[in-house]
Structures are given as C-alpha cells and as structure tokens.
C-alpha cells in the first residue's frame, strides 16, 4: 500500500477520535487571553497521542514536537475564538460541541479549533507510521490571534527561537490550498477643535465638522485605491467615530475615528499613513498607527504595532507545490489554489519574518464569526491526512 493510502486510511480510522477531540475543545469557551483551559487540554491530547514532547510557552502557546530532523515544519492553528454574539441567532448550543449529521457544531469549529483537532490526529498518525524523512515538526496551538493577528508568532520566533522552513496555517480554506491574503492596519485619526457656546458656534471650531470633511475624502480614497489581480483591491473604511464637548450645548472640541485599512500587493504602512496625512493636511489633526499590548492568560504583557503586512507565496514555490502534490496523491484530484478574504497569522509568519506559508484547513471561511458555525467531519478527516502526508514528503 502506498504511503498516501496508508495515511488516508488511518485518518478515516481516527474520524471519531478527531471529531470527539474537537467537540471537547468547543465545550471550553476560549476568548483571546483566556485560552488556558483549551491550551491545557490540547497539551494533554498531544501527550496522549504520543508526541515526543509538548509544552506551553511564556505567552501561552501550546507547542508539540515530533521528530528531530534538520528540516523544520510548523503547523499552526489559533485556539482562541470570538464570542458567541446574540444567542438568539443560534439554532444549537454554541458551546455544546454536538456531532450531528456529519458536522461538528459550535463556536470555533471552523474558525478555527478544527485545525488543531486535525493536526493532533496527524501527529498520532505520524507516530504510528514513523517518520522516515529528516524533519522536525512543531504543532502549535497559538493564542490571541483574534485580537492581534500574528502576535503569537512574534513571540514564537523572537522568544521561543523557533523559525521553521515552512508553516502550514490551518485556518479554514474549505480544503483548498491558500497562498496569501491582503494585509491590514488600524489607524486612528484625532481632530482638535475649539469649544464655544452652542448659541454662538461661530466663536468655536467644530472638531466634528473637521472629521466629517476628512471622512468624505476617505470615502473617495477608497474608490481609487489600487487593485491586484490575485489579492483584489485595497480598501479603507471608518469603523468607529467618537466625539466630545464640554456639554451638549457646546461646540465639539474633539473628534476621532478608527480606520480599518486593508492592504493589497504593493501597499504598505508608509503609503497608507501618507494617504491619510495628505487628507488632513491643514487641519488640526493627528494620524496614528495603533499599538496592541495586552496580558496573555499567563500574565505576560506583550504587544506589537497594528500593522499586518500583505503576503503572497508564488504558486510555483515548493511549499505550495508540495501541497498540490500531497492533495493529488491523497485525494486523486487537483486542488483549487486561492487566497483568504480575511487575515491570518500569515501576516507575521511570512509578512514580517519571510517564512514560507501554505494555507490548508477544514471548514469554510464564511462560517468564521457567524452564528451556527460548524465544520464537516469529512473535512477534519482529510485535513488530518493532508498534514501528515505533507510533512512525510517534505
């Protein structure tokens, strides 16, 4: 029997194991900076699956290792989820982890605890068949991704000193192979006015009016931003606006808005900031790239600026072609090679550190952050086979 056939057969054999593990993980609420219970459970699952070692680092990432070879591969899946939102929009218990009609149901099933559940099974398969190539594989359940994409990988590279030759990102791809996505950044623009009595507004300078003029120009900017054939168009939108004044009978002396800027190929931090600076030129305004700094569940305070670079891997790159080969030899057909709409840890893994990334994960990204989130059990099976085989022929 071919190696690909043996691995796929084992993935099917462990279908119930994989789906049950995912069900158990879903039953523990795991918001950003509150992943302790899920991290501990994943560590135990790794140990029970026979991983060579498993530990939790200073930021709270749970890391398992198999092998001790020269070539280093990491399989990444974040273990934090968004909250459940309005419970009335759900047709089932979002923290129930029910397995029904070929799906595992619940928050995080697609985005993206299904990835770690599948890679734990991949590790179990690899321990059973034995690694024959010269590789070290790190299986990483990463934290705080929903709040700050890639912060976990800044810690992994800078503090854990793990810098792989390749990373498989297990965010949902609908079992397609993904090779990039747009970057993003968060910008705050503050406007400073002069208050006066509302009965005589001409004596003051209204910060809201300044912000409104800038907002109209930002709307126009969005229309003329550049487009990339593969990644699509860059975009900018105002996602929040707040203001203040001494009273509701006074001219507003302060206003600020928050910009969600999506960056396509060829756009970067300096370009995006300069575009906004040009719009507010001549106004009493300040443009700032925001920073993130919060405490992990371990108590460690860690942060980075909220600039998440665009990244694209060429389709003929080895890490993508190894994925195409793995898919074809496992499943007997050519995969779709595409991109994510949303952002992932790839912004830091490849966007900052230049580590080659391939995306392959169970579930459909349309389920991300949505009510009635679910993942097909068949996706979990195929993903676990893919991770094991990809590493076996790397």
pLDDT in tens, 161-182: 999 999 999 999 999 999 999 9
Q: Same structural domain for residues 111 and 44?
A: yes
Q: Same structural domain for residues 26 and 114?
A: yes
Q: Same structural domain for residues 214 and 356?
A: no
Q: Same structural domain for residues 19 and 88?
A: yes
The SS3 call for residue 117 is helix
Domain that holds residue 218: 183-295
Residue 305 domain flag: no
> Could you list the active site residues?
80, 145
Q: Same structural domain for residues 320 and 370?
A: yes
**How many other β-carbons are positioned within 10 Å of the β-carbon of residue 2?**
9
pLDDT in tens, 268-314: 999 999 999 999 999 999 999 999 999 999 999 999 999 999 999 99
How far is it, in rounded angstroms, from Cα 48 to Cα 50? 5
Residue 304 domain flag: no
pLDDT in tens, 213-247: 999 999 999 999 999 999 999 999 999 999 999 99
Please tell me the predicted confidence (pLDDT) of residue 131.
87
Which residue matches tokens 């810690």?
155
Residue 301 domain flag: no
How far is it, in rounded angstroms, from Cα 234 to Cα 373? 28
Q: Same structural domain for residues 34 and 168?
A: yes
Q: Same structural domain for residues 267 and 388?
A: no
**If we measure between CA atoms, which residue out of 108, 311, 135, 168 comes closest to residue 228?**
311
Please give the radius of gyration of the chain, using alpha carbons only, rounded to the nearest integer: 23
Alpha helices by DSSP H, 187-254 = 207-224
Residue 106 domain flag: yes
Among residues 244, 268, 295, the one where a domain terminates is 295
Q: Same structural domain for residues 197 and 281?
A: yes
pLDDT in tens, 264-276: 999 999 999 999 9
Global pTM reads 0.95
pLDDT, the chain, mean: 98
> Are the C-beta atoms of residues 386 and 359 closer than 8 Å to each other?
no
Report the half-sphere exposure of 76 (CA within 13 A, side-chain side): 35
How far is it, in rounded angstroms, from Cα 215 to Cα 77? 37
173: left (phi over 0), alpha (psi -120 to 50) or beta: alpha
Residue 300 domain flag: no
The SS3 call for residue 72 is strand
Q: Same structural domain for residues 224 and 123?
A: no
pLDDT in tens, 111-157: 999 999 999 999 999 999 998 899 999 999 999 999 999 999 999 99
**If we measure between CA atoms, which residue out of 124, 121, 131, 26 comes closest to residue 80?**
26
User: How many domains does the chain divide into?
Assistant: 2
**Domain CATH number, residue 379:** 3.40.630.10
Q: Same structural domain for residues 100 and 237?
A: no
**How many other β-carbons are positioned within 10 Å of the β-carbon of residue 36?**
16
How far is it, in rounded angstroms, from Cα 260 to Cα 187? 7
Q: Same structural domain for residues 26 and 62?
A: yes
């Amino acid at each position: 029997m071919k190696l690909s056939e043996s691995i796929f057969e084992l993935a099917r054999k462990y279908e119930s194991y994989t789906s049950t593990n995912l069900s158990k993980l879903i039953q523990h609420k795991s918001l950003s900076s509150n992943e302790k219970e899920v991290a501990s459970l994943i560590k135990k699952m790794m140990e029970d699956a026979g991983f060579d070692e498993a530990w939790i680092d200073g930021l709270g990432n749970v890391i398992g290792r198999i092998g001790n070879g020269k070539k280093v591969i990491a399989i990444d899946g974040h273990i934090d989820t968004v909250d459940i939102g309005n419970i009335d929009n759900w047709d089932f218990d979002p923290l129930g982890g029910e397995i029904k009609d070929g799906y595992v149901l619940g928050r995080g099933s697609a985005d993206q605890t299904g990835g770690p559940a599948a890679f734990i099974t991949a590790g179990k398969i690899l321990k059973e068949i034995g690694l024959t190539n010269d590789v070290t594989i790190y299986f990483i359940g990463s934290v705080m991704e929903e709040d700050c994409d890639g912060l976990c990988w800044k810690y992994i590279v800078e503090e854990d000193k793990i810098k792989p030759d390749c990373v498989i990102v297990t965010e949902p791809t609908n079992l397609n192979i993904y090779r990039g996505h747009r970057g993003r950044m968060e910008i705050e623009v503050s406007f400073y006015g002069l208050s006066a009595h509302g009965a005589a507004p001409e004596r003051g300078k209204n910060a809201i009016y300044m912000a409104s003029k800038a907002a109209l120009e930002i709307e126009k900017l969005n229309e003329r931003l550049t487009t990339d054939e593969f990644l699509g168009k860059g975009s900018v939108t105002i996602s929040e606006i707040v203001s203040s004044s001494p009273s509701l009978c006074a001219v507003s002396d302060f206003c600020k808005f928050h910009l969600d800027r999506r960056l396509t190929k060829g756009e970067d931090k300096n370009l995006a900031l300069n575009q906004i600076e040009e719009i507010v030129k001549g106004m009493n305004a300040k443009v700032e790239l925001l920073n993130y700094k919060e405490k992990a569940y371990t108590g460690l305070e860690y942060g980075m600026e909220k600039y998440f670079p665009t990244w694209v891997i060429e389709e003929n790159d080895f890490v993508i072609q190894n994925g195409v080969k793995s898919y074809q030899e496992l499943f007997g057909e050519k995969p779709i090679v595409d991109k994510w709409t949303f952002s992932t840890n790839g912004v830091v893994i490849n966007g900052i550190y230049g580590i080659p990334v391939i995306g392959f994960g169970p579930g459909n990204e349309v389920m991300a952050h949505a009510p009635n989130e679910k993942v097909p059990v068949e996706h979990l099976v195929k993903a676990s086979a893919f991770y094991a085989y990809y590493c076996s022929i790397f």
